[in-house]
Amino acid sequence: MPKPEWSAKVVEWNTDKGYGWLQWADKRVFLRRREYSGPNRTPEVGEEVHFILGKDDQGRHCAKNAVSTRGRGYGTGFLSLLLLCAMLGLPAIAVQRLPIELWKTSAYALTISLLTYAAYASDKRRARTRAWRIAEAHLHGLELLGGWPGAWLAQRHLRHKCSKGSYQFIFLLIILIHQFAAYDSLQDWRLSRAVIKHVAGTSISTQLNDFSWGFPETQKFP
């Protein structure tokens, strides 16, 4: 279960020592430079950050994965949109080869991306109001179902889930899975068939050939 995310302002910062304090309700929370992400190298007094509450080696409350509300170089700028368009290129070409009407696949892609964006927005709002959070597995599930473009925009526009390394690793892995699937489909699933044959042997390939996939004969398993 993901830990709750809190907001607080920096009330003290020692640049030489690389740490400072946040004022969170009636408590002061310790913050180290390595746990901070923002547009500047170090936070400024009065700056608001989002963070996860943890404890250091001495048992003191400290901020983990602190992200400035000013962002960290994220944003839906030109380069971000250009990169998204580049990543959508291969899947868009592959979708046109599916035995499904193009408008149906386009409607699905748009719907799942909008749902994913809405889930991010809801989770961001819950984090700020200290409500029950949406499980990260559910967000990743939406991304895997095709909502990763909506997640890409949500992370940059809402500045949510963009600083947690483990989350970003899985998110980028999901994007790579979609890119691989699109590429392999254009190659008549040669890579996938090779992997299946290597892992399960030739018997499964024979069984798969007996099943109608809805693709042309040239795409059947050898």
Percent of the chain predicted with pLDDT > 70? 83
Residues 13-25 pLDDT 10s: 998 888 999 988 8
Residues 59-73 pLDDT 10s: 778 998 888 876 554
Domain parsing of the chain, residue ranges: 5-68, 78-186
Amino acid 177: pLDDT: 96
Residues 165-192 pLDDT 10s: 889 999 999 999 999 999 999 998 898 8
Specify the higher pLDDT residue, 174 or 58: 174
Residues 93-131 pLDDT 10s: 999 988 889 999 999 999 999 999 999 999 988 876 767
CA angle 138, 143, 146 (to 5 degrees): 130
Amino acid 7: pLDDT: 82
Reported as a pLDDT band with limits 50, 70 and 90, residue 212 is very low
Amino acid 202: pLDDT: 56
Amino acid 54: pLDDT: 87
Amino acid 87: pLDDT: 96
Specify the higher pLDDT residue, 131 or 48: 48
Q: Which CATH architecture has domain 5-68?
A: Beta Barrel (2.40)
Q: Show the tokens assigned to 54.
A: 């943890």
Nearest to 191 by CA among 200, 180, 202: 180
